[in-house]
């Protein structure tokens, strides 16, 4: 990889996308065969993207299940797309089926996929009442199985090319935040900062967000930027992310809205010191074999309550397992080399603010590699 960037270079691509797609597909098909599945029917965009590598239109929010991608044990991938723009060259025109408003037509398209009709064991990443009723029309003998564990397992550890995408995404997110931070001053609207973040990322070539950028002042923690203007000295949680080639790049810091010449308050710096200590503990614990649930317990050990956002999450094609926090149960998940994670240290004090420090790391054989490079800002000086 020739450093983070999104343009192609005359001597090669920064990320070998053909290899990226080949390796992902090979992993998926091997897992499918090992599980003795005949096919996968995928509705979640991240799973479809993993299998097919296509760029389809980004929209906010989820959608009800619809079979937008079919993977066969033969290794063939069929994709719902009315055109071939955004579709990798290894997917033939005969492997595309058009979008439709008519579920019966979609069933007809699926029925025409060679080999799918005879499938007996099919893994899915969702289902709906309507498709459960219609799908036997295309696949009469199928038994439907939950493939989410299989998909999570395949996606959990990253190839070198996937890691290159994640590093690029983080570089873009950090770069976009760096462009916004000089404007973070008393009197500026929270929503203005969010707009500037998204605009800066778009100018770096990345127009798809991981979520609406969060620039929220004060305590308790809020995550949706409001119409309100920042007051002098307020501590602002800046938490944002982008999707580059589908891969998530996250950045999160707390920054005080300082008038020229002003400094962060002693109480804010004390809050930062607590957040930094918790961050160090999280980073130290992010080693292979560690239970994800135990990372969450570091909050209790530090005497801090778990915040309302996930404190550990997998970083890949968007947010992915393991996800852990006050509302997310990672079960018995353990860390292994090659996983990319986001770790959040987030502490708050009423009247002082919220200090959030987000680190993207890659789990290695010992201490994790830190992808995050952005500094801690005025709280640390």
Among 319, 337, 364, 369, binds another protein (CB under 8 A): 319
255: tokens are 């920054």
Name, in order, each residue with C-beta under 8 angstroms of 93's C-beta and a sequence gap of 6 or more.
84
Choices 230-238, 274-282, 291-299, 313-321; region in contact with another protein by CB under 8 A: 313-321
Choices 10-18, 84-92, 336-344, 371-379; region in contact with another protein by CB under 8 A: 84-92
Segment 21-60, which members bind another protein (CB under 8 A)?
Answer: 44-46, 55-60
Among 9, 34, 89, 102, binds another protein (CB under 8 A): 102
Choices 286-294, 312-320, 352-360, 365-373; region in contact with another protein by CB under 8 A: 312-320
The yes or no reply on residue 313 touching another protein (CB under 8 A) is yes
CA-nearest of 190, 239, 251 to 213 is 239
Q: How many residues interact with another protein (rule CB under 8 A)?
A: 80
Among 22, 223, 269, 287, binds another protein (CB under 8 A): 223
| Cβ atoms 348, 221 nearer than 8 A | yes
Name, in order, each residue with C-beta under 8 angstroms of 184's C-beta and a sequence gap of 6 or more.
193, 215, 230, 236, 238, 255, 257
- Tokens 């969702």 belong to 126
| Cβ atoms 217, 254 nearer than 8 A | no
Among 3, 10, 61, 381, binds another protein (CB under 8 A): 61
CA-nearest of 283, 275, 324, 328 to 303 is 275
| Cβ atoms 116, 138 nearer than 8 A | yes
Among 10, 34, 85, 89, binds another protein (CB under 8 A): 85
Query: Cβ atoms within 10 A of the Cβ of 201, count?
Result: 29
Query: Cβ atoms within 10 A of the Cβ of 85, count?
Result: 8
x-or-dash pattern for another protein, window 125-164, by CB under 8 A? xxxxxx---------------xxx----------------
377: tokens are 């800002």
Among 12, 19, 33, 62, binds another protein (CB under 8 A): 62
Among 20, 51, 96, 154, binds another protein (CB under 8 A): 96
CA-nearest of 54, 125, 56 to 90 is 54
Choices 23-31, 135-143, 157-165, 195-203; region in contact with another protein by CB under 8 A: 195-203
């Amino acid at each position: 990889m020739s450093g983070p960037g999104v343009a192609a270079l005359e001597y090669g691509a920064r990320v070998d996308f053909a290899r990226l797609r080949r390796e992902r597909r090979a992993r998926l098909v091997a897992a499918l065969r090992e599980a003795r599945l005949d096919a996968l029917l995928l509705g979640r965009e991240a799973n479809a993207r993993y299998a097919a590598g296509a760029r389809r239109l980004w929209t906010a929010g989820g959608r009800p299940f619809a079979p937008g991608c079919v993977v066969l044990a033969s290794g063939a991938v069929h994709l719902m797309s009315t055109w071939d723009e955004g579709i990798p060259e290894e997917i033939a025109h005969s492997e595309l089926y058009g979008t439709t408003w008519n579920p019966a037509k979609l069933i007809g398209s699926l029925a025409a996929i060679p080999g799918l009709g005879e499938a007996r064991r099919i893994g899915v990443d969702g289902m709906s009442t309507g498709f459960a009723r219609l799908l036997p029309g295309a696949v009469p003998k199928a038994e439907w199985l939950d493939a989410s564990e299989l998909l999570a397992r395949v996606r959990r550890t990253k190839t070198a090319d996937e890691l290159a995408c994640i590093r690029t995404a983080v570089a873009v997110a950090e770069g976009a935040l760096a462009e916004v931070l000089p404007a973070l001053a008393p009197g500026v609207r929270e929503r203005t900062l969010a707009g500037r973040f998204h605009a800066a990322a778009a100018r770096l070539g990345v127009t798809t967000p991981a979520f609406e950028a969060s620039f929220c002042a004060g305590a308790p923690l809020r995550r949706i930027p409001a119409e309100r203007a920042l007051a002098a000295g307020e501590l602002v949680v800046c938490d944002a992310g982008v999707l580059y080639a589908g891969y998530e790049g996250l950045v999160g810091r707390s920054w005080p809205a300082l008038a020229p010449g002003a400094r962060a308050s002693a109480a804010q710096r004390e809050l930062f010191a607590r957040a930094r200590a918790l961050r160090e503990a999280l980073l130290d614990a992010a080693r292979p074999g560690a239970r994800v649930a135990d990372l969450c317990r570091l909050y209790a050990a530090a005497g801090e309550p778990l915040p309302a956002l996930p404190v550990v999450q997998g970083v890949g094609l968007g947010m992915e397992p393991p996800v852990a926090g006050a509302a997310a149960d990672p079960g018995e998940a353990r860390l292994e080399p090659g996983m990319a994670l986001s770790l959040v240290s987030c502490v708050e004090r009423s009247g002082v603010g919220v200090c959030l420090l987000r680190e993207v790391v890659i789990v290695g054989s010992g201490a994790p590699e830190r992808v995050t490079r952005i500094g801690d800002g005025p709280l640390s000086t």
